[in-house]
Chains A and B, each alone.
Chain A
Amino acid sequence: MEQARRSLLRWLLGGGFSASIISFLYPAFRFMSPPEVPEASINEVSAGKVQDLKQNQGRIVKFGNLPVLLVHTSAGEWRAFSAVCTHLNCTVQFRESSSQIWCACHNGLYNLNGQVVSGPPPRPLDEYAVHIRGDEVVVSRRA
């Protein structure tokens, strides 16, 4: 009777203890192995090749989860701005005919410095930094 009780005890303790230890160590080891996408934050994004965007053209690029408007000005400069309109959050676009940034929702207009020219937007667009690496256009956050 004692023997039976003792071996039940051993089973419970040993079994439970090992099972619980495994249930702690398993997640820890999985945690330590690097996930599929090893990098965390989005600090810069490749926005295509230089040849893809002619002068006086603009394109929307995904930066993390938010849209960014990349503009190649007629003077040959590269600029990038947050494409989220500061009025009611619609996505803005580049208007070639007037070389301005326009929001279709309520006719807000920004110039190529991101500043509001006319319409309802209350604040300018946040600017992003653009670097050319070889023939690749790279958009990153401003420092």
Chain B
Amino acid sequence: MKRALAVLVFTTSVSAADTCVECHSVLDGNLQAPAKAFSNDVHSRFGLSCADCHGGDRTASDPEQSMSRAKGFVGKIPRTAIPERCGHCHSDAAFMQKHKPRQRVDQLAQYRTSVHGKRLAAGDTAVATCIDCHSVHDIRETRDPLSPVHPLRLPETCARCHADAGHMAKYKLPTDQFAGYRKSVHWEALAQRGDLSAPSCASCHGNHGAQPPDVASVAAVCGTCHVMMEDLYKGSPHAPVFASMGAAGCVVCHGNHEIKRPGIGMLAGPNAVCSQCHDSDSAGGKAAAEMARQIGSLDKAIQKSDQVLAVAQQSGMEVSEALLRQREAKEALVKAAVAVHAFQPAAVQKPVQEGLAITTETFRAGVSALNERRFRRIGLGVSLTAILITMLGLWLAIRAIDGRKHDRETA
């Protein structure tokens, strides 16, 4: 609260004089655009202005004074100088502590270790600098959905260069990462389910110190979230083999950007990844087939129970308990899929057996629900028959009584 008040006072007292914005907002075109955009910039909230980056005197109304070289005005900042310019404040811990004490101050140091930073230092101005990702003049906080580095917008920001074949040609880098990532489960979690914890480019590559992970450390990167898979993989036969081959761990089977939802199709069938190395009659090929069979059997059992329970539920039977039990069966299936990463059928068998025990139970519950439904319909038939017989009797009685009255009247 006190901090907010201080910023408010600071802002109102300093932004009282800002001739840069005042003059430039009444100009045209490129000279006007930055001034108009600046009201959206996070820096303006802290009382900063054009002069804090471009130099000059923001209190002077005479352009000769406000944009004088003597007062430090540099005009357009050359691209190679941008990181240092931003870092002037953002790497100064004492300065940042006055405004945002929790913000990191190592971005510039990290940037210098990245591919972008190293190439920029060598004079290549086509690589990304601060303003290419964070935008300029209307820089927003990362958590602002309109910021180009908000988790939901980050992939398309990276893709501006990395998906542009013309731009990337001289670096001889592929440009299909963004297209692949958009087909992945991670993008689905991020964009469609709104799970902001799902990984995007920076989650695996880093942001300021961006580099692709080393082949040897891919499993560790994926293992940040997928802990169980990493543990099992590290203890499996594949780990030392892939390491000696220089193969990139998880990426060998799952890909890096276009990571699709895994399924039995990866273990067996025409698109199986196992068969890319293992012959079908080899130990590895047989293990893959066995694991596929196990998981397939549990998957089928779950579907069978799901079907019978769906029919029961559709016809109004109460099967909510069995449906909740099915949840546990699906968890067992997930555990079995995780166990695949030990690449031993015995490891997969345990959760599969647990799951099958549950599906036997839920299938029985579904069948008994359908039996109950049949009982109800038979009962309905019985009582409807009784009702119809009674109605027939009543109708005949009515006719008889009406007839009698009629006879009495006409007699």
Contact = CB atoms under 8 A, between A and B. Distances in A.
A105 B391 CA distance: 63
A118 to B, nearest CB: 10
B393 A12 contact: yes
Interface in A116-136: 119-120, 122
Given A119-B225, A120-B195, A105 B334 contact: yes
A20 B390 contact: yes
Q: Which of B198, B325, B397 has the most CB of A within 10 A?
A: B397
B224 interface: yes
B197 A9 contact: no
Contacts of B320: 65
A91 B379 CA distance: 42
Nearest to B197: A120
Interface residues of B, number: 32
Nearest to A19: B386
B382 A13 contact: no
Contacts of A119: 197, 225
B389 interface: yes
Interface string B164-194: 0000000000000000000000000000000
Contacts of B394: 13
Nearest to A89: B327
A11 B320 CA distance: 45
Contact of A17 (B225, B227, B393): B393
A91 B331 contact: yes
Contacts of A89: 327
Given A24-B383, A90-B331, A107-B225, A65 B325 contact: yes
Contacts of A141: none
A59 interface: no
A16 B227 contact: no
**Contact size range, A:** 20 to 34
A69 to B, nearest CB: 15
A16 B386 contact: yes
Given A119-B197, A120-B197, A9 B227 contact: no
A49 interface: no
B77 interface: no
Contact of B386 (A6, A9, A23, A87): A23
Nearest to B225: A106
Interface string B41-53: 0000000000000
- For the complex of A and B, the 8 pairs showing the least CB-CB separation, nearest first, are A120-B197, A16-B390, A16-B389, A12-B393, A13-B393, A19-B386, A23-B383, A20-B386
Interface of A: 5-6, 8-9, 12-17, 19-20, 22-24, 65-66, 87, 89-91, 104-107, 119-120, 122
13 contacts: A12-B393, A13-B394, A13-B397, A20-B389, A23-B379, A23-B383, A65-B321, A65-B325, A66-B324, A87-B195, A107-B227, A120-B198, A122-B197
